[in-house]
Amino acid sequence: MADRVPLFEAEHVTRFFDVSRPWLQRVINGEKRRLLRAVDDVSFTIGKGSTLSLVGESGCGKSTMARLAVGLYAPSHGAIRFEGEPIAAARAEARQRRRMNMIFQDPYASLNPRWRVARIIAEPIRAFGLLRGARAIAARVAELLAQVGLQPSDGGKFPHEFSGGQRQRISIARALSSEPEFLVCDEPTSALDVSVQAQILNLMRDLQRRLGLTYLFISHNLAVVRHMSDRLGVMYLGRIVEIGPAEEVFSTPRHPYTRMLLDAIPDLSPDRMMSGRDRTPIAGEVPSPLAPPPGCSFHPRCPLANARCREERPAYTPAGAILVACHAVAEGRLPA
Amino acid sequence: MSLLDVEKLSVAFPTRRGVLKALDNISFAIAAGEVLGVVGESGAGKSLTGAAIIGLLERPGQISGGRILFEGKRIDDLPQEEMRRIRGRRIGAIFQDPLTTLNPLYTVGRQLAETMQIHLGISGAEARRRAVGWLAQVGIPAPEERIDSYPHEFSGGMRQRVVIALALCAEPRLVIADEPTTALDVSIQAQIIALLKRLARERGTAVMLITHDMGVIAETADRVAVMYAGRIVELGPVARVIRNPAHPYTEGLMASIPTLEEKRGRLAQIEGAMPRLSAIPPGCPFSPRCPKVFARCTEERPELMLAGGTEAACWLFAPTLAEAAHERRGHG
């Protein structure tokens, strides 16, 4: 392709949150400002029509990154670009803004309970002025409902009349109604039962193929991520510790955290079940993002940590097609 | 003899629009030292089964049929006061959200010690000494220091450990764990499951592990009961149910779970959704979604019957007329 500009680009993105106590209390107790570094120097690109997933445990910054990606938060440092244009500028323009949308985790909280489904789905069409006339809009809503596997007659119902999976279908129909190219999906199936999750994941993949959608997919579930992703970034305490083609990250994980995470997952693969072994629990817990450890933030839990890991923050080392932020990988200390 | 026997248990919710049967004629048993997994989608009746056993059904729900035997004695018809003595002492409970189980105003040490003083009748000093031991058992670092901390001073994973210590400290014979790891991250989840398994193995405690996560069941349980629309549709050894499920619902459920193995194209999916309690179809409740449905399924309700290595409530496994006749002759 001649066009080498990726659809979405995050470059050294950092986002702080000020979690200091009120000014007077700080003065009385002689406290300093406290900054929470939710996302810390994160860079990645997403090519058109592909899916990049960010995976990690709670507090790793993946949801903050999702919000940054659609411009709901502004980055404290760094740049986020949509087709090479800074996201803030893209958001200011309705023509560009409608090209990105978001699907949220909780289908119970993200739909207005007082609106009928048809109105919920038609709202972006009206807001962006994509179609005029009630009849044209109704026809488009019916088409969208069919596209996500609902009946056109469902448009006359209220959200409470639907199950969780059907509500998530409504959320997807709403997200698609502005004819976006880029969808940010923040844990879209974690509130759903597994059989319904399969329906939604299949639907999202079908829609991607049919409409050429680009996804930024956020999840804590590695099995779901494996099913959905072209590329995968593993996040820990606000940083991407490993990023690369999903297949390669799964087949040959490099970062000790990725390895432990993959090992910790309860899985139904026959070889796992056959071995009958207990999973290796990762020792310890994620430290508070308010006081991240110095050096590599994973070092307190890492079996390979040495003095350098405790002091110096690791830069990215290429390993195959993967980038890994780990001194052990860079120094070749990683056991096979 | 089993430690817990649930026989033909039904739970009903009378409402203005009629009686809803939330649990319909379910039977299972758990032996000492055994971990029974109970799995199903939301609304299938997993948690309700646990609540019925420990006598904590929320009104207007009530047991409308069947009985529950614990150590051979009926516990479903005990007066509140007597049931309360069994709960905590003989049957422990672990719930999903550790914050609702712990009292925020008391230190964890006081909560542990008080539980042991009440149920085991030991002195305060002895209870405190044992409380430190329990915190160490469940893997809380520096238990002598943490014992005087309040619940909010612990992280989520540590809090769930405290809850487990609290459920186990009176040394119950049976622990009912309702989604004990659902609120936790995978790395913490693995620690908690390893802990639960070890305690069951070492102390011969029976565990009823309720979860929607088949992966957790696969790693922890000896046998598994699969629930659907208030009924048990399949019951059997965990490896068998996972690798060679008999009931079409279990089969569909297993196939729809994404795994870490090779990336597959499409996930298998079961069309539709579980029926609401107010609209459970006659016959087999899964029949409207079942790819193998036939006439009998929509007319007659199947009970658990032998199906290879497991038991399934499915007419596919009904003995043929010839087999049934043979059976009768054999026994007659």
Q: Give the dihedral of Cα atoms A196, A197, A203, A204; nearest 10 deg.
A: 160
Q: Please check the confidence at residue A40 and state whether its pLDDT lies above 90.
A: yes
Q: How confident is the model at residue B331 (pLDDT cuts 50, 70, 90)?
A: low
Is the model's pLDDT at A4 over the cut of 70?
no
For residue A2, name the pLDDT band (cuts at 50, 70, 90): very low
Q: Pick the residue with more confidence: A268 or B135?
A: B135
Task: Show the CA angle centred on residue B245, arms to residues B242 and B250, nearest 5°.
Answer: 90
**Taken in order A237, A240, A246, A250, is the CA torsion positive or negative?**
negative
Q: Contact B192/B224 with Cβ under 8 angstroms?
A: no
Contacts of A55 (CB under 8 A, 6+ apart): A62, A218, A219, A220, A221, A222, A225, A232, A233, A234, A235, A261
Report how far apart, in Å, the C-alpha atoms of B145 and of each of B123, B192, B264 are.
Answer: 21, 21, 50
Mean pLDDT for A20-42 is: 88
User: Which residues, at least 6 apart from A231, have a Cβ–Cβ distance to it below 8 Å?
Assistant: A44, A46, A50, A51, A52, A53, A243, A244, A245, A246
Q: ∠B81-B171-B209 over CA atoms, to 5°? A: 90
Q: β-pairing, A77-82 with A8-18?
A: antiparallel
3-state secondary structure of A67: helix
Question: Which two tokens mark A54?
Answer: 């960010």
Q: Is the pLDDT of residue A164 over 70?
A: yes
Of residues A58, A268, A285, nearest to B259 (C-beta): A268
Candidates B251, B259, B286, partner chain A, best to mutate (most A CBs within 10 A): B259
Check residues A163 and A267 and name the one with the higher pLDDT.
A163
Chain A CA closest to residue B44: A193
Residue A275: pLDDT band with limits 50, 70, 90: very low
Query: By 3-state DSSP, what share of chain A in percent is helix, strand and coil, each rounded to 5?
Result: 40, 20, 40
Residue of chain A nearest B214, judged by CA positions: A268
Q: Does B41 have pLDDT greater than 90?
A: no
Do B187 and A282 touch, CB atoms closer than 8 A? yes
| Average pLDDT for A268-281 | 55
Query: pLDDT value at position A270?
Result: 56
A323 phi and psi angles, rounded to 5 deg: -105, 130
Q: Give the closest of A202, A265, A285 to B215, CB-based.
A: A265
Provide the chain A residues 187-206 that lie in CB contact (below 8 A) with chain B: 193-199, 201-202, 205
The predicted-structure confidence for A123-141, as pLDDT tens digits, reads as follows 999 999 999 999 999 999 9
Can you give the pTM of this predicted structure?
A: 0.85
Query: How confident is the model over A295-317, as a mean pLDDT?
Result: 93
Which tens digit of pLDDT belongs to each residue from A287-301? 877 888 999 999 998
Spell out which residues of chain B touch residue A251, defining contact as CB-CB under 8 Å: none
- How many whole angstroms separate alpha carbon A172 and alpha carbon A177? 9
Give the neighbor-by-neighbor strand order of the sheet with A322-325: A100-103, A182-186, A214-219, A51-55, A231-236, A239-245, A322-325, A316-319
Cβ-contact A264, A282 below 8 angstroms: yes
- Judge whether residue B246 has pLDDT over 80: yes
Length of chain A: 336
Q: Give me the mean pLDDT over the A32-44 stretch.
A: 90
Q: Quick one: average pLDDT of A32-54?
A: 93
Q: What is the DSSP string of B230-275?
A: TEEEEEEEHHHHHHS--SHHHHHHHHTS--SSS--SSPP---S-PP
CA distance B287 to B273: 12
Distance from CA of B191 to the nearest CA of A (A): 5
Nearest to B257 among A57, A220, A268 (CB): A268
Which tokens sit at B104? Answer: 């925020």
Query: For chain B, what is the mean pLDDT?
Result: 89
A75-84, B151-160, B259-268: the lowest-pLDDT one: B259-268
What's residue B14's pLDDT? 92
What would the pLDDT profile of A187-246 be if each residue is shown by its tens digit? 998 888 888 899 899 999 999 999 999 999 999 888 899 999 999 999 999 999 999 999
What is the tens place of the pLDDT at every residue in B199-236? 788 888 999 999 988 888 988 899 999 999 999 999 99
CB contact under 8 A, A261 and B187: yes
Mean pLDDT across B147-163: 88
CA-nearest residue to B266 within chain A is A202
Instruction: Check whether B332 has a pLDDT greater than 60.
Output: no
The answer on pLDDT for A252 being more than 60 is yes
Q: Which residue of A has its CA nearest to B258?
A: A223
Alpha carbon distance A161, A80 (integer Å): 39
Mean pLDDT of the B7-12 span? 96
